[in-house]
Amino acid sequence: MGHYLVTGGAGFIGSHLSERLIKEGHRIICFDDFSGLATSYNHKWDNIKSMLDNHSQYRLVQGDIREKGYLEIPFEQESIDVVIHLAAKTGVRPSVQDPVLHCKVNIIGTVHILQLCVKYHVKNLIFASSSSIYGNNPFIPFSEETKADLPLSPYAATKKAGENMCYAYHKLYGLNVVCLRLFTVYGPRQRKEMAISLFTRQIYNDEKITIFGDGENTRDYTYVDDIVDGFVRVLDHEGYKIYNIASSNPISLSTLIALIEEKLEKKAKVDHSPMQPGEVNHTYADITKATIKLGYSPKISIEEGLTGYIDWYLNDELKRSKSKILGG
């Protein structure tokens, strides 16, 4: 049985990963600050309620990774084998609006994690990086050897800085680190401002959706179960490694909207606006390295993944409607 500290463990990816590890018999210590809007806050509690209620090997420690004292609690009290560092301020547009907050959480918070790994002799760290670091590099698909030194947003810059800090701590202290560059993760419980959840909700409710650009920008949408599989494959590693974790099958925004329309059996009402600052035109991962070295092979197509997400969304909406009726 492994002992895993998952920062951001009550979030979208963290809760799915924790469920997988719990099922495999491991002990999970979730560290999360439950930040965000009230709806997001409640949703995070929903994400982990079943694990809290039903698994003795699941523990929650509430705190902010910027506060080293709170963050040190699980290191002091648990024998941690691996830290899976998912906690971060996310999103390109929010980072343009508040770059200082993103720097404090994503860089200072990551340094705190690294310091505590060294202090408490944790041998392995998995750092959740992002496809955003590739920027608008013209050489696609992006491989791990593709230059990633021209970020277009503060968010992307903080993720690249996090990778660099991880490398420094690997060289200085022998900490084993894997950086996973994740490509546009989607699925049940994803954040409400992300494209698939936002468009699904707006189309379902007959609201207008806004397309930034001409709709031909592409994303390498990757279902959360395939992302989780990437994490599980690097739990026991040595050295410093970087891997792209993605579907490696990008589609355009226009195609994505058409698929959602088809599955909801509704037509989108569309407005167009210019591309937003910091947004990249295309993301497309070369996953050859992960395939060869890790045996990684994404299983969920965009059609299957959207079906899974939309089925979950409709069931969740039904539950919320019933709850409002009973509450009222």
**Assigned domain for 276 exists:** no
Q: How far apart are the first and last CA of the chain?
A: 46
Which residues, in sequence order, are bridge partners of residue 105?
none
Q: Please tell me the distance from the alpha carbon of residue 261 to that of residue 271, in angstroms, as a whole number.
A: 15
Task: Assign residue 110 the CATH number of its domain.
Answer: 3.40.50.720
Q: What percentage of the chain exceeds 70 in pLDDT?
A: 94
pLDDT given at position 74: 96
**Assigned domain for 296 exists:** yes
Q: What pLDDT digit, counting tens, does each position of 295-312 carry?
A: 999 999 999 999 999 999
> For all residues of the chain together, what is the average pLDDT?
92
| Residue 94, Cβ density class (10 Å: 0-12 exposed, 13-18 middle, ≥19 buried) | middle
**Assigned domain for 321 exists:** no
In the predicted structure, residue 287 carries a pLDDT above the cut 60: yes
Quickly state the pLDDT bin for 43 (edges 50, 70, 90): confident
Which residues constitute the domain of residue 178?
88-189+222-248+285-300
The number of domains in the chain is: 1
Take residue 229 and report the two structure tokens written for it: 């599989």
| Phi, psi dihedral angles at 240 (to 5 degrees) | -120, 120
Residue type, 43: H
**Assigned domain for 16 exists:** no
Mean pLDDT of 197-209: 94
In the predicted structure, residue 260 carries a pLDDT above the cut 50: yes
Q: Model-level pTM greater than 0.85?
A: yes
Q: What pLDDT digit, counting tens, does each position of 69-125 carry?
A: 999 999 999 999 999 999 999 989 899 999 999 999 999 999 999 999 999 999 999
- 282: three-class secondary structure by DSSP: strand
Q: Which residues contact 15 (CB under 8 A, 6 or more apart)?
A: 9, 44, 47, 48, 51, 189
| Phi, psi dihedral angles at 306 (to 5 degrees) | -65, -40
**Assigned domain for 31 exists:** no
Residues known to be catalytic: 155
Q: Which residues contact 127 (CB under 8 A, 6 or more apart)?
A: 85, 110, 162, 163, 166, 177, 178, 179, 180
**Assigned domain for 199 exists:** no
155-159-161-166 Cα dihedral, nearest 10 degrees: 160
Q: Please tell me the distance from the alpha carbon of residue 293 to that of residue 296, in angstroms, as a whole number.
A: 8
**Assigned domain for 52 exists:** no
- Which run of H or of E encompasses 29? strand 27-32
